[in-house]
Structures are given as C-alpha cells and as structure tokens.
Structure 1
Amino acid sequence: MKHLLTGLGIGIVFLTGWLVLLSSERADTTGGPSFAQEMSSADNLQLPQRVRGVDLDGPFTFAGETIPVDNFDVRERLDQELLRNAYFHRNTIMLLKRQQRYFPTIERILAEEGVPDDLKYLAVAESGLSNATSVAGAKGVWQFMTPTGKGFGLEINGEVDERYHLEKATRAACKYLKGYYETYKDWRWVAAAYNMGGPNVNKWKSRQQAETVFELDINSETMAYLFRIVALKTILKDPLAFGYEISPEEHYPPLDSYKSITITKSIPDLADFAKQQGTSYRMLKVYNPWLISGSLTVSSGNSYEVKIPV
C-alpha cells in the first residue's frame, strides 16, 4: 500500500505539471499575438504600400473653365476618373514617358492656332499619345475617322494616312475644335462634341434641356470623357503627388533629330530609298508614320516632306 500511494503521488505531480505546461502554451497561442498579427507589424510588411483616395479640394479647370466639384455628382464622377487613372500604373507611366515626345509639337501648334493648351489632354484621353487605331476605325493621336480626317484636309489613301502625321493632324484637330467652339462658346461642351459628335450633343442637349454639359445623362463614355481629360491633366501636371517618380532620363526622346527632304517623284520601294538616305526602313517609318505602305506615289504637281533621321 505504501508503494502504491507513493506511485500515485508521483503520478499526480507529473499530471499537475503537464496541465500547467499545457495551460501556459494555450495562453501563449490565444492571448499573445498570432503569426498573422506579427507579420502585419510595421517592421514585417511584405507589401509596403499606401492606398488612399485623392484630394478633391481642387480647384479643377479645363481650358480656363471650372469643374464644379461642389456638386456631389460632379465630384463623384471626377473622383472615379482620378482613381481609375491614378491606379492604372502601367498606362500612366507610359503617358509620363511619352509626353516629352509629343507635347512640345502639340503645344506649339495649339498656341499658333489660338487653341487653349489644355486641349492637348484631349489627345491623351483619345489615344494615350500613340498612333492608335480604335475598334471603330479612328486613327492617330487625335483619333480621326476617315470622313472627318478628309473633311479637314488630311490625305488618306492606300499609301498615305495623314491621321498619323502629328503636325498635320494637330492642325486639323485645331480647326475641328475651333469650329465647335464657335457653336458652343464653352470648351467643356467642345470636349463632349469631339467625343460623340456635334449632332448627337445637340440632340441630347435639347431633349434633356441641359444648360451645362454636367447635366447630360447619356452614354457612359461621353459622361466620363471630360472627367477623364481633367483627371489626366491633374496627374500629368503633378505626377509626384500621385506617387509617380519618372526621371527626365526615362522620358522617351522627341523625334527632333532629322533632316527634311522634299519628294517630288514617286518612290517605288521605300526600303531602297531608306538605304540610299543612310537609314533603315524601320526608322523611316518611325519618323514618318503617315507612310503606311512600302511605296510612295507622287502625282504630278504634288510633293511630300519626308523626315530622314540623322
């Protein structure tokens, strides 16, 4: 009996110790910080980032005309476009890199034509500053459809498409925009008309008795269009405020190192022509994207200015 009691005593001691240890471990796992909590501490962030809304205090303007963000609907629509473009990282970085290539030429022509500088952001919204082609067939930085391009003096055929000619297309866009301004006397209405066409704007403006462009209730693309332009302007003018750090060296260089030659005779093979000029077919097309085939036919009395990179 004595040995039995001794054995039971020892067993009770071991059992008590085991229960105390188990209780301690449980306290550590339930009362202390979990693994997830530890990993979320400031010193252990695996994805350090700050995701926040944008400052909507403004003021926001387009071509000197106000965007009335005191109206909650206008404020929310602008907010959506600012957020959409601020967090569209790849696209916004590309725009920041491209602007040095395109803006100097566009800004110069807008100034010469008496068009507000802010209209350059319309080109950004239209094409992302590239010689894009839309699903509907609009082409170039200013996204002209074929009839409109031809109507404003751009040559468009199987060999030449001047919608891809930055200088000529920008001149044509200025004429187009100024024509709308004569009608509306408000660059905000001009932007809507550029997007969906003057006849459509006039129809919906009349039907809905809209006094301002912000009162229109139409297709989602046009409803967002002006806000997209203003959002892009806001971000591109102060990219650092939105977390974009692009050094001058990262900008794509302007295509301003070239000599211009006048072509008065047809060129049957542009690859041969490029070699004769000391360049490549590829670089000839980079500097002259309006040349859309492998040849160039020059009719009697006509001529073309072609840029040769140097």
Structure 2
Amino acid sequence: MTKRFSIWLLTGLCLTGSFFTMLPEANAAEPTSDYLLSALQIDSPLSLCNEPVPLADPQNKERFEKEMLVSLGNRYQVILWLKRTTRFFPTIERVLSENGLPGDIKYLAIAESALRIHAGSPKGAMGVWQLMPQTARKYGLTVNGHVDERRSFQLSTLAAASHLKDLYSRFGSWSLALAAYNMGEEGLEAEILEQAVSDYYSLYLPLETQRFVFRILAIKCIVENPQHYGFFIGPDEFYPPRAFTTVQFDALTELPLRLVAEASGTVFKTVKDLNPHIRGYYLTAGSHRLNIPPEGEAGFEKRLRELATSDARNRDRRLYRVREGDSLSGIAEKFDVPLAALLIWNRIPINAVIHPGQRLVVLPIDHGNDSETETASGE
C-alpha cells in the first residue's frame, strides 16, 4: 500500500465515525486494489430511466468506471448524499410520479448539487436542480433581487420536472434529455445536426456532458446499494425532513423577517432556513406564502399584524436625519452600532451615497421601544 493510499484510508475512517465502515469487518483494516476492482464488477445489465446503458462497448465501460471511482474516492461526500436522501427524495419521487417521469431522475439532483439548497455555479445556476435564471423564469419561478425561487426546494422541483418533461418530448430519449439539461437544448440539437448522430453514447459532446449521464448512473448504483460499496449507515443516522406549515398573508409595506420569526415563535435563522428563496432581511410589500414551524401557525396572522403595527409606530423614534458632512461610517460610530447593521436596517450597499435631509434607521428595535431612550434625531 502506498503512503498516499494509507493517508486516504485513515482520513476516511476518522471522518465517518461509528455509523460508517469502509468495508465489512473482515477487510476493514486494509482495503486493497481487489476491493476497488470488485466495486466495478457489474452482475447484470444496467439501465437509467428504463433505458439500457450499452456497457458492452469498452469506451462506455471505461466512462462508467471512471465516474464510479471518482465518486468512491470522495467518500465523505457520498456519506452526505446518502444521509440527505431521506430529507429530499420523498418529495422528488412524489413530483416525478405525478408528472409521469422515471424515478431515476432523482439521482440527477445529486449529480447537480449533492442535494444542497444553496449550491451555485460560476455560470449562474442555483439550487438543488442547478437551474439557470432564464430556465427558472420560463417555468414560472421568480428570480430577482428580493426572491430567488430556485432556492426553494419545493418550487424548483416542480420547475425541473416540467423542464425535463419538455426535454424528453423534444429529444425522445432520457440520455439525450439529461445531456440537454446539462449543456442546453439548442447546443445539443446543433451537435446532433452537425454529427448526424442522435445517440448520446455515440455523440462527441463537451467533456462535462460526455461524463454527465455516466455520473448519474454511478450515483444510482451507489445509492441503491450502499453496503456493496462499503457504506453502512444506520437508519437513525439519516437526516429527517424539516417539518413546516405554509402560511399566506399580505404585507402592506416592507416587512422585516425578524417579525415573521417572532410571530412564528422561532428565530430568524429558522425562517431563513425554511424559506431559502427569500433574499435579505425584508419581505417586499404584497402577498407572501412562507413556511414556518407547525407550532407557530395558530394565531400567526394576529401576532404578525400586532408586531407590524408596533414596529411602524416606533419607527420614527429610530430615525436620524442626515446632516451636512455625515457619512455612513460616521453615523454608525455616533450611535455606537455596527456599520453592517446600519446597512441592513436601511437596505443600502456600503458604497451608497447619502444626502442631507435623508432619514436613516440608526437604532435597533429594542432601543426604539425604550421610552427612556432619546429619539435618534436628537433634535
């Protein structure tokens, strides 16, 4: 065994803890090349989305084995995939079934994001399904400076299912539909026309797309039979779905999310975690559907209305009128508040230009509610 392989083994064992074993007990001390080779042995033909994968072709076999070894070499990430499946797969499977799509599509979500809500790409894709802004908008999602529904697992799953349905209708096979999902339908169509080939496995495509379907297939093999690849995770070690209920309400003006949290009987972080599509610290005026903890539903609207009324009533006591020569940093220092808090309260960037007469929120809400505290204006 090489030194590099020994270090890899030791790191893998340390990361996994009691719920994970590299190999069955008899071989746990020292995995060998025989083990890695056995992991590549396929006893029966493989299929993806009910379509056979032509692994009899040596080139395809090599492509598949590469993706298997790459995935198995990143074992800590595989553990996270597996533990997240119980949180995300039930919803994905339901949506796929309702749309008449094959269940194997769920493995696409792992290939795209490792089931991470906030996963982003340098090209601008976002969310579990890595939707680009224009694709998301095409399928009804809102993407702007206030809301990015690609981060909403429920909404983005519906959009991805509709997108995949259209891709299959356009290309007639799931291997091509998945390739189009990765590289774009127009790009794939251009390659099909130029090469006069309509079989994914025979097309010369961008290298990432040539690997893509085989990566999904490797993920399917591992997730469907984790013990075969040395992953032994107890039932209690999987991540449970987050419990929530959805409430609908109207905001007459901008509404701080901290008030939603307070009305829900929870903290700001929980509201953000349950509603990752909401950007920033405020809701815009208008109608909203938000997820909150189930125990916060009873009486929610009444509490929120009372909190919003109180917040608006005390707002004037938190305001400061900008004077000649003032700067944001100087105002923050004057009132002994962090500059970052000043920017949050006023929804402005750090390079914002302020003008004499402009009114800025400069005190936290607790100060605004304190009758003994001097008004922010000081005038």
Q: State the TM-score, normalizing by the size of structure 2.
A: 0.67
d(CA) in 1 for partners of 2:65 and 2:244? 42
d(CA) in 1 for partners of 2:85 and 2:290? 23
> Which amino acid is the alignment partner of residue 48 of structure 1?
E
Structure 2, gaps ≥5 residues long: 1-26, 296-379
Match of 1:22 in 2: none
| 2:53 equivalent to 1:106 | no
Cα deviation for residue 46 of structure 1 reads 11
Answer with 1 or 2: which has the greater Rg: 1
Question: 117-126 or 223-232, which moves further after superposition?
Answer: 117-126
d(CA) in 2 for partners of 1:47 and 1:237? 25
| 2:235 equivalent to 1:251 | no
Structure 1, gaps ≥5 residues long: 1-44
| 2:42 equivalent to 1:56 | yes
d(CA) in 2 for partners of 1:92 and 1:58? 23
Deviations 1:208-267 (A, max 9, x none): 222310011122100000000010011001100000011121111101x22221122255
Cα deviation for residue 153 of structure 1 reads 0.4
Query: Quick one: which of 155, 159, 172 aligns to 2:159?
Result: 172
> Which amino acid is the alignment partner of residue 119 of structure 1?
I
Percent identical pairs in the alignment equals 35
Q: Which is bigger in relative contact order (C-alpha 8 A, separation at least 6)?
A: 1
Distance 1:267 1:58, change over 3 A: farther
Q: Does the aligned pair in 1 maintain the 2:260–2:271 contact within 8 Å?
A: no
Cα deviation for residue 87 of structure 1 reads 2.2
Query: Quick one: which of 284, 289, 307 aligns to 1:305?
Result: 289
Structure 2 counterparts to residues 47-196 of structure 1, below 5 A: 48-50=30-32, 51-53=35-37, 54-131=40-117, 132-196=119-183
Q: State the TM-score, normalizing by the size of structure 1.
A: 0.81
Structure 2 counterparts to residues 219-230 of structure 1, below 5 A: 219-230=206-217
- Secondary structure of the corresponding residue to residue 136 of structure 2: helix
| 2:226 equivalent to 1:242 | no
d(CA) in 2 for partners of 1:58 and 1:209? 31
d(CA) in 2 for partners of 1:98 and 1:149? 24
Query: Quick one: which of 223, 234, 247 aligns to 1:261?
Result: 247
Count of equivalent residues: 262
d(CA) in 2 for partners of 1:69 and 1:157? 44
When the two chains are superposed, the root-mean-square deviation of aligned CA atoms in Å is 1.6
Distance 1:46 1:95, change over 3 A: closer
| Runs of 4+ with >3 A deviation | none
> Which amino acid is the alignment partner of residue 130 of structure 1?
R
> Which amino acid is the alignment partner of residue 289 of structure 2?
E
> Which amino acid is the alignment partner of residue 82 of structure 2?
L
d(CA) in 2 for partners of 1:213 and 1:244? 31
